[in-house]
């Protein structure tokens, strides 16, 4: 009994290290720290909802041990002097952080190919992308390396890879989880979120990390429910809306079939299913990319080669210190987004691009307010297609942006959303089902998503790996 | 909104963003920004007359906390990641000339 956490963590690390060379999940593996932590837990009486459980974190979440690289050369050797709020809460809950995972540089991307270090592979077929930007955390759970992981979302970066890899991943309401210690990308959109095999795991993780933190003034003092206990209650009358606009042109036929079959599952469970409309959906991606890049161009101004991060050798003056350090340290997608955001905020273009996008954001938000008068949750495919091949979209930024077409509206509106597995293509790639709910309705969202997992076993299917 | 972005504009934006781009990057990003800007012009179709902006998804304003003294990072911890430092300072190239200082 006394050695149980140590042996559990050690076998987790064995599997992680065995599979990592083929899947390329981890940027850092904390064998020594995790072993030490496990021994400490074994020495104390068991306590906490995650006692002895192994967790991995996306490498844009700060830890006081190891590195926090954001998948970028500019932070290649960065060691955070403090822990993110979620790290403190996870440790208090008894969790053991065993690794930090790969991501698109600064969480900018939809395939985890934009990491400065290496691309992560889809465990169902290594020639395909896992999605992104939280690809490493998602694959760690999909490949059953660890039971639990955390990613972050600015626009779909948990749900989209969860869909492409067949796991359950949630973006909580903006403000539900403290962003303290999450390296900022788009501050009005960013949110840390849980990843697990099933809804029950996600509910448990959310319960641990949700709540107000004075160090993040945008975290909200709303009561935190016992999300896991809610799953065992009867869901009552489920009112499910499906957004007409999310079933249009560009939806892969196999994805459509799987999602329509999921709607039938809910009908059989007695849910009231009706069509709803989100009329501003066609403008989601344009609105999102103007806002997130504007915020990114401002947030990433801090990487200047002075206080931390890469610094160019022998700059001629202080302007070159900034500009050469940044050019050498950032990858192509990050530079592209900084350029777009700077352009949208620059004199002469601010009103036409940035302010226009903020107004369209209001309309997108209002679409949801109207839709939620008729239903508890909005059901849709998580992504228009299953996973695409590595390299397929690398040279076409816009095509890559459109991979998140069903995801970004939830980030713009600040509402919670979840992706759960709902089927497979004939070639064996996972398909995801998305639910969006109203602000702070995580409990309802989890309850309704859980009903699907009680009636199906897609979430229990693991990729064949050896 | 006009679609075509010129080389000079790309260079101007790169300067504002403090990115020392190579000529190859200037021409590649210019072409890519063109196609992205052409796409985002879709927003022109939306009538936003009298629509307020949303800068933040939740109606939060004036968040206060108690003014309680607490310890912050020590100078050593704050400087630990600096590429160049001389405790307790960050080292940077000269910003002002002696004559203009």
Partners of B58 on chain A (C-beta within 8 Å) are 174-175, 218, 220, 414, 439
Judge whether A133 counts as a catalytic residue.
yes
With residue B85 as reference, give the H or E element that holds it: strand B85-86
CA distance A389 to B2: 35
Does residue A340 form part of some domain? no
Shortest Cα distance, chain B CAs vs residue A360, angstroms: 7
Q: What ipTM was reported for this prediction?
A: 0.93
User: Which residue shows structure tokens 């559990």?
Assistant: A8
Contact B52 A361 (CB under 8 A): no
Contact A188 B58 (CB under 8 A): no
Which of A356, A362, A437 is the best residue to mutate to test the B interface, defined by the most B CB atoms within 10 Å of its own CB?
Answer: A356
**Angle at which helices A199-209 and A442-455 cross, to 10°:** 160
Q: Which A residues, 66 through 95, put their C-beta within 8 Å of a C-beta on chain B? A: 77-79, 81-82
Does residue A350 form part of some domain? no
Alpha helix (H) residue ranges in A110-242: 135-142, 159-165, 199-209, 227-231
pLDDT in tens, A174-203: 999 999 999 999 999 999 999 999 999 999
Does residue A10 form part of some domain? yes
Average pLDDT over residues A295-311: 97
C-alpha torsion sign, points A462, A429, A189, A330: positive
Identify whether the C-beta of residue A245 lies closer than 8 Å to the C-beta of residue A278: yes
Of the candidates A79, A220, A283, which has its C-beta nearest B43's C-beta? A283
| Residue B2 reports pLDDT greater than 80 | no
Identify whether the C-beta of residue A239 lies closer than 8 Å to the C-beta of residue A271: yes
Contact A311 B84 (CB under 8 A): yes
Contact A336 B84 (CB under 8 A): no
Q: What is the pTM of this model?
A: 0.97
CA distance B94 to A96: 46
| Residue B100 reports pLDDT greater than 70 | no
For residue A267 the two structure tokens come to 């009908």
Does residue A81 form part of some domain? yes
User: Which residue shows structure tokens 């933190």?
Assistant: A213
Q: What is the pLDDT of residue A184?
A: 98
Does residue A343 form part of some domain? no
pLDDT in tens, A244-274: 999 998 999 999 999 999 999 999 999 999 9
A440/B contact by beta carbon, under 8 A:
no
- Give the range of the structural domain holding residue A13, as residue numbers without chain letter: 4-280+365-460
Judge whether A157 counts as a catalytic residue.
yes
Kindly report the length of chain B. 101
pLDDT in tens, A439-459: 999 999 999 999 999 999 999
- Domains (ranges, CATH) in chain B? 7-45 (1.10.20.60)
Q: What is the pLDDT of residue A1?
A: 47
Contact B53 A362 (CB under 8 A): yes
Partners of A188 on chain B (C-beta within 8 Å) are 55-57
- The domain spanning residue A86 has which CATH number? 3.90.1300.10
A309/B contact by beta carbon, under 8 A:
yes
DSSP one-letter code for A446 = H
Contact residues for A309 (Cβ-Cβ < 8 A; gap 6+): A74, A75, A78, A303, A325, A329, B81, B83
Number of independent structural domains in chain A? 1
Does residue A369 form part of some domain? yes
pLDDT in tens, A396-450: 988 899 999 999 999 999 999 999 999 999 999 999 999 999 999 999 999 999 9
pLDDT in tens, A360-386: 999 999 999 999 999 999 999 999 999
| Residue B97 reports pLDDT greater than 80 | no
A355/B contact by beta carbon, under 8 A:
yes
Distance of CA A168 to the CA centre of its chain: 10
For residue B34 the two structure tokens come to 């063109």
Phi, psi dihedrals of residue A249, rounded to the nearest 5°: -55, 140
Average pLDDT over residues A215-229: 96
Contact residues for A286 (Cβ-Cβ < 8 A; gap 6+): A357, A360, B39, B40, B41, B42, B43
Average pLDDT over residues B17-39: 96
Identify whether the C-beta of residue A100 lies closer than 8 Å to the C-beta of residue A67: yes
Within 13 A of A340's CA, how many CA atoms are on the CB side? 29
Nearest Cα neighbor of A435 from A426, A425, A443 is A443
DSSP one-letter code for B37 = H
Identify whether the C-beta of residue A171 lies closer than 8 Å to the C-beta of residue A191: yes
CA distance B46 to A366: 14
Distance of CA A102 to the CA centre of its chain: 12
Looking at chain A, the whole-number percentage of residues with pLDDT higher than 70 is 99
Does residue A313 form part of some domain? no
C-alpha torsion sign, points A356, A357, A361, A363: positive
Q: What is the pLDDT of residue B96?
A: 79
Q: What is the pLDDT of residue B61?
A: 82
| Residue B56 reports pLDDT greater than 90 | no
Average pLDDT over residues A124-147: 98
Shortest Cα distance, chain B CAs vs residue A210, angstroms: 16
Does residue A312 form part of some domain? no
* Mean pLDDT over each residue of chain A, to the nearest integer: 97
User: In chain B, whose CA is at the least distance from the CA of A76?
Assistant: B81
Contact B82 A307 (CB under 8 A): yes
Residue from A157, A178, A419, A438 carrying the catalytic annotation: A157
A148-153 and A54-58 as β-strands: parallel, antiparallel, unpaired?
parallel
């Amino acid at each position: 009994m006394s050695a149980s956490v140590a042996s559990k963590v050690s076998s987790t690390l064995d599997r992680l290290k065995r599979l990592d060379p083929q899947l390329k999940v981890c940027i850092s593996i904390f064998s020594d720290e995790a072993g030490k932590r496990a021994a400490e837990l074994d020495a104390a009486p068991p306590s906490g909802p995650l006692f002895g459980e192994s967790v991995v974190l996306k490498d844009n979440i700060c830890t006081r041990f190891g590195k926090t690289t954001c998948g970028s050369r500019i932070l290649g050797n960065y060691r955070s002097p403090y822990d993110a709020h979620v790290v403190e809460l996870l440790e208090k809950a008894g969790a053991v952080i065993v690794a930090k995972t790969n991501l698109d540089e600064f969480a900018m991307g939809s395939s985890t190919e934009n990491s400065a270090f290496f691309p992560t592979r889809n465990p169902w077929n290594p020639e395909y992308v896992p999605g992104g930007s939280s690809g490493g955390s998602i694959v760690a759970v999909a490949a059953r390396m660890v039971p639990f992981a955390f990613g972050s979302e600015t626009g779909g970066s948990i749900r989209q890879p969860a869909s492409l890899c067949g796991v359950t991943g949630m973006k909580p309401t903006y403000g539900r989880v403290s962003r303290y210690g999450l390296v900022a990308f788009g501050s009005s959109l960013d949110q840390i979120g849980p990843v697990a095999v099933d809804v029950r795991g996600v509910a448990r993780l959310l319960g641990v990390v949700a709540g107000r933190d004075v160090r993040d003034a945008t975290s909200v003092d709303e009561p935190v429910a016992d999300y896991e206990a809610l799953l065992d209650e009867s869901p009552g009358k489920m009112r499910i809306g499906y957004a007409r606009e999310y079933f249009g042109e560009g939806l892969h036929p196999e994805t459509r079939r799987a999602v329509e079959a999921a709607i039938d599952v809910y009908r059989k469970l007695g849910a009231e299913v009706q069509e709803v409309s989100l009329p501003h959906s066609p403008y989601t991606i344009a609105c999102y990319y103007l806002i997130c890049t504007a915020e990114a161009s401002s947030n990433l101004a801090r990487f200047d080669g002075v206080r931390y991060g890469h610094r160019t050798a022998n700059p001629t003056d202080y302007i070159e210190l900034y500009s050469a350090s940044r050019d050498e340290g950032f990858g192509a997608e990050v530079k592209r987004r900084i350029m777009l955001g700077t352009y949208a905020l620059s004199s002469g273009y601010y009103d036409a691009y940035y302010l226009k996008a903020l107004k369209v954001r209001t309309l997108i938000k209002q679409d949801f307010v109207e839709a939620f008068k008729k239903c508890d949750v909005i059901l849709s495919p998580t992504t228009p297609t299953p996973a695409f091949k590595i390299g397929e979209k690398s040279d076409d930024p816009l095509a890559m942006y459109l991979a998140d077409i069903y995801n970004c509206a939830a980030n713009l509106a600040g509402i919670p959303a979840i992706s759960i597995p709902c089927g497979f293509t004939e070639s064996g790639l996972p398909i995801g089902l998305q639910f969006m709910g109203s602000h702070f309705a995580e409990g309802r969202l989890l309850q309704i998503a859980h009903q699907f997992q009680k009636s199906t076993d897609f979430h229990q299917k693991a990729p064949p790996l050896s | 909104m006009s679609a075509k972005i010129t080389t000079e504009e790309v260079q101007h934006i790169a300067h504002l963003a403090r990115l020392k781009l190579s000529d190859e990057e200037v021409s590649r990003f210019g072409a890519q920004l063109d196609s992205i800007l052409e796409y985002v012009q879709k927003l022109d179709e939306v009538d936003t007359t009298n629509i307020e902006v949303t800068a933040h998804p939740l109606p939060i304003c004036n968040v206060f906390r108690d003014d309680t003294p607490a310890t912050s990072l020590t100078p050593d911890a704050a400087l630990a990641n600096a590429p160049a430092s001389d405790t307790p300072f960050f080292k940077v190239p000269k910003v002002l000339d002696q004559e203009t200082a």
